[in-house]
Amino acid sequence: MNDYSFPRKDRLLDAAAYGRVFDAVEVRASHKYLLLLATSNHLDHHRLGVIVARKNVKHAVQRNRFKRIVREVFRHQDHKSPGLDVIVMARKGVDTLDNQTLSTIVRQQWQKLVGSEA
């Protein structure tokens, strides 16, 4: 039985944590609308960070929507594999997708990322 919760320990909490990922990207998954970067964190769980640039998604409502969906997908994933720090970045145009489509894309990219790492 998986734990679907999303507590603070599962998030990247400060600039330093983000910096570590950016400085040592081990795996990446690229898509027209988003980009995933990841590096192992030597913990027993994954951690997630989301970046949505104002430049790419103009409206705050749309930025929030993107983050929520990414988190939603994240907490439904299997967390048994060795811990990864993952950053999900939005690209221009994501705000044109509906929730369903966006969820599917994020899920696919996530599988790709975990698969290539394993």
Closest approach of Cβ 20 to RNA, in Å?
A: 13
Chain residues 21-50 in contact with RNA, contact rule CB under 7 A = 49-50
CA distances 51 to 1, 63, 71, 110, Å, are: 30, 9, 12, 16
CB 105 within 8 Å of CB 33: yes
**If DSSP states are collapsed to H, E and C, what string results for 30-65?**
ECCCEEEEEEECCCCCCEEEEECCCCCCCCHHHHHH
Contacts of 101 (CB under 8 A, 6+ apart): none
Query: Which lies closer to RNA via its Cβ, residue 97 or residue 117?
Result: 97
Query: Which lies closer to RNA via its Cβ, residue 28 or residue 107?
Result: 107
Query: Which lies closer to RNA via its Cβ, residue 99 or residue 116?
Result: 99
x-or-dash pattern for RNA, window 67-106, by CB under 7 A?
Answer: xxx--x--x-----------------------xx--x---
Please classify residue 59 by burial: count the beta carbons closer than 10 Å to its beta carbon, then call 0-12 exposed, 13-18 middle and 19+ buried: exposed
Q: How many chain residues are in contact with RNA, going by CB under 7 A?
A: 28
Binding of RNA at residue 13 (CB under 7 A)?
yes
Q: Which residues of this chain interact with RNA, rule CB under 7 A?
A: 3-8, 11-15, 18, 49-51, 59-61, 64-65, 67-69, 72, 75, 99-100, 103
